[in-house]
């Protein structure tokens, strides 16, 4: 059964990427490469596999699920347009950009840009314990205390998950997502195939 679920999830992820996952963030070519289109789509998908606790931020100002982008935005404005069609539960998705952790108190997820790698430890500390899912494409992000870190292997976008860091913030990452990501922080490493 477990193999069947893992195989199904792997097929889903591959199908999403192959069948136009990038299409859900159409127009992002002006903002960057296919890599960031895939990462943007993953951000929305991650939210569907996380259970937020009572200490999580309430829905954003407009009642939507808010994804924050901390630092230089690698996705571009087309990401805003693409997520307008998305729903996380019953909430629409909105994007908030900023430079300081205090600007993201109403976000349920914060993507920390590579431009912030110099102060990564400080940012993780600031966002920790607030019920906010932290995601980045900074090397060894999950190993340094972040929750989900994008990595590239064999030219493909993959991700590492630090479930312990998520749990410390009151977040529970679905076993389905754990089966397709690499697990870090002393846990068995798994990988999308």
Show me where the domains of the chain are located.
2-183
Q: Check residue 193 and give its pLDDT.
A: 32
Q: Check residue 85 and give its pLDDT.
A: 86
Q: Check residue 103 and give its pLDDT.
A: 94
Rounded to 5 degrees, φ, ψ at 96 are -125, 130
Q: Report CA-CA distances (Å) from 43 to 69, 136, 149.
A: 11, 10, 11
Least Cα distance to 108 among 168, 32, 151, 56 occurs for 56
Rounded CA-CA distance 153/31 in Å is: 22
Rounded CA-CA distance 165/138 in Å is: 16
Least Cα distance to 50 among 151, 189, 159 occurs for 159
Q: Check residue 6 and give its pLDDT.
A: 47
Model pTM?
0.77
Rounded CA-CA distance 177/142 in Å is: 15
Rounded CA-CA distance 88/75 in Å is: 19
pLDDT digits (tens, 9 = 90+) for 5-59: 444 445 544 444 433 444 444 443 443 468 888 999 999 999 999 998 765 665 5
Q: How many CB atoms lie within 10 A of CB 86?
A: 21
Q: Report CA-CA distances (Å) from 76 to 22, 25, 79, 95.
A: 14, 10, 6, 11
Q: Check residue 76 and give its pLDDT.
A: 87
As a CATH number, domain 2-183 is 3.40.50.2300
Stretches in the chain below the pLDDT threshold 50: 2, 5-9, 12-32, 60-61, 186-193
Q: Check residue 185 and give its pLDDT.
A: 58
Q: Check residue 89 and give its pLDDT.
A: 83
């Amino acid at each position: 059964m477990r193999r069947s679920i893992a195989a199904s999830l792997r097929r889903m992820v591959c199908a999403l990427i192959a069948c136009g996952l990038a299409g859900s963030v159409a127009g992002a070519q002006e903002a960057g490469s296919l890599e960031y289109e895939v990462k943007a789509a993953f951000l929305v998908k991650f939210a569907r596999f996380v259970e937020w606790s009572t200490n999580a931020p309430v829905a954003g100002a407009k009642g939507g699920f808010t994804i924050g982008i901390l630092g230089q935005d690698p996705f571009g404005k087309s990401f805003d347009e693409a997520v307008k069609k998305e729903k996380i539960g019953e909430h629409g998705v909105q994007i908030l950009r900023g430079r300081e952790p205090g600007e993201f108190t109403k976000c349920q997820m914060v993507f920390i840009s590579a431009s912030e790698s110099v102060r990564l430890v400080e940012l993780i500390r600031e966002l920790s314990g607030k019920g906010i899912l932290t995601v980045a494409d900074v090397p060894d992000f999950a190993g340094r205390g972040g929750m989900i870190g994008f990595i590239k292997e064999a030219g493909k976008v993959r991700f590492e998950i630090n479930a312990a860091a998520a749990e410390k913030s009151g977040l529970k990452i679905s076993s389905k997502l754990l089966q397709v990501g690499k697990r870090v922080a002393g846990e068995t490493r798994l990988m999308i195939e």
